[in-house]
Amino acid sequence: MNEPKFGKNFIFGAATSAYQIEGSPAADGKGLSVWDVFCHTQDTVYNHDDGDRACDSYLRWREDVELLASLGADAYRFSVSWPRVLPEGAGKPNPKGLDYYKKLCDALLEKGVRPCVTLYHWDMPYALSLKGGLMNRDFAGRFADYAAVVARELGDRVSLYFTFNEPESIVGAGYCYGAFAPGCKFGDRGSFPAVHNLLLAHGDAARILKDMGKEVGAVCSGPAPYPADEKDGELVRLVEKQLASPEFVWSTPNIFDPIFLGDYSAEFYAKYRKEAERTIKQGDLARIAGNTDYCCINHYSGYPVIRKGEGLEKLRRPSGSPLMANGWDVDEKGIYWTLKFLYGRYKKPLMLTENGMDCHDIPSSDGVHDAARIDYFRRFLTQLNRAAADGADIRAYFAWSLLDNFEWLAGYSSRFGLVYVDAQTCNRIPKDSFYYLQRIFSDRNK
The pLDDT of residue 445: 59
The pLDDT of residue 310: 87
DSSP 323-349: B-TTS-B---HHHHHHHHHHHHHH---
Percent of the chain surpassing pLDDT 90: 96
Q: Using CA atoms, how far apart are residues 255 and 67, in angstroms rounded to an integer? A: 34
Please state, in angstroms and as integers, the Cα–Cα distance from residue 263 to each residue in 207, 266, 280, 411, following that order.
17, 9, 11, 38
Model confidence band, residue 105 (pLDDT cutoffs 50, 70, 90) = very high
pLDDT higher than threshold 70 for residue 446: no
The pLDDT of residue 109: 98
Q: Which domains does the chain have, with CATH numbers?
A: 11-443 (3.20.20.80)
Q: Contact 407/414 with Cβ under 8 angstroms? A: yes
pLDDT higher than threshold 70 for residue 196: yes
Model confidence band, residue 223 (pLDDT cutoffs 50, 70, 90) = confident
State the catalytic residues. Answer: 166, 354
Residue pLDDT, tens place only, 330-343: 999 999 999 999 99
Residue pLDDT, tens place only, 16-46: 999 999 999 999 999 999 999 999 999 999 9
Residue pLDDT, tens place only, 198-214: 999 999 999 999 999 99
- Rounded mean pLDDT of 233-250? 96
DSSP 228-293: SSTT-HHHHHHHHHHHT---STTSHHHHHIIIIISS--HHHHHHSHHHHHHH--TTHHHHHSS---
pLDDT higher than threshold 90 for residue 173: yes
Give the N- to C-terminal CA distance of the chain in Å, as an integer: 17
Percent of the chain surpassing pLDDT 70: 99
- Rounded mean pLDDT of 306-332? 96
Q: Where are the alpha helices (DSSP H) in 42-167?
A: 57-71, 82-85, 95-110, 126-129, 139-154, 167
Q: What is the pTM of this model?
A: 0.98
Q: Contact 401/415 with Cβ under 8 angstroms? A: no
pLDDT higher than threshold 90 for residue 222: no
Q: Using CA atoms, how far apart are residues 281 and 264, in angstroms rounded to an integer? A: 13
Mean pLDDT, all residues of the chain: 97
The pLDDT of residue 444: 76
Residue pLDDT, tens place only, 391-403: 999 999 999 999 9
Whether the ω angle into residue 182 lies within 30 degrees of 0, i.e. cis, is: yes
pLDDT higher than threshold 90 for residue 8: no
The pLDDT of residue 49: 98
Largest CA distance in the chain: 64
The pLDDT of residue 151: 98
Residue pLDDT, tens place only, 363-416: 999 999 999 999 999 999 999 999 999 999 999 999 999 999 999 999 999 999
Q: Tell me the sheet residues that pair with 242.
A: none
Residue pLDDT, tens place only, 40-76: 999 999 999 999 999 999 999 999 999 999 999 999 9
pLDDT higher than threshold 70 for residue 439: yes
